[in-house]
Amino acid sequence: MTAIDAIQLTMLFAGLCALLQCGLTVLVIVRRVQVRVTLTDGGDKPLLRHIRAHGNFTETVPIALILMALLELRGLQPTWLWALGICLILGRALHATSLLTNGAMWSRLAGMVLTLMVLSVGGALCIGLFWRG
């Protein structure tokens, strides 16, 4: 089995995250065109929210996917990977939706909690597997 064969679930979630990031990027571009702002946010609150939804996604997703790929390569049970991947997608979707719609604070908080759970559990599992050898 090659390394690529061993990271099938991570590939799925990376693909889903890529599509979500494309959507967030398009929303920023569309808002920039609407308000004719090419740099920064021009003081436009909705544009700032779009930029932060995209930025926060970009800041957290890569390390989560790296952790998942490393764990999958080390043979972590698929159930764990499904749980991490679903929490990542759901967390990022909840967080972005809240920012983009001036939505409820609970969804933004839930999104961050789910994402931080993926990062902390994934990180702890990586450290544990490292020490175990």
Q: What pLDDT, on the 0 to 100 scale, is given for residue 93? A: 96
Residue 120: closest CA among 91, 79, 77, 78: 91
pLDDT in tens, the chain (133 residues): 566 667 899 999 999 999 999 999 999 999 999 999 999 999 999 999 999 999 999 999 999 999 999 999 999 999 999 999 999 999 999 999 999 997 788 999 999 999 999 999 999 999 999 999 8
Cα separation, 106 vs 79, in Å, equals 27
Q: What pLDDT, on the 0 to 100 scale, is given for residue 2? A: 63
Residue 97: closest CA among 79, 84, 109: 109
CA-based R_g, the chain, Å: 17
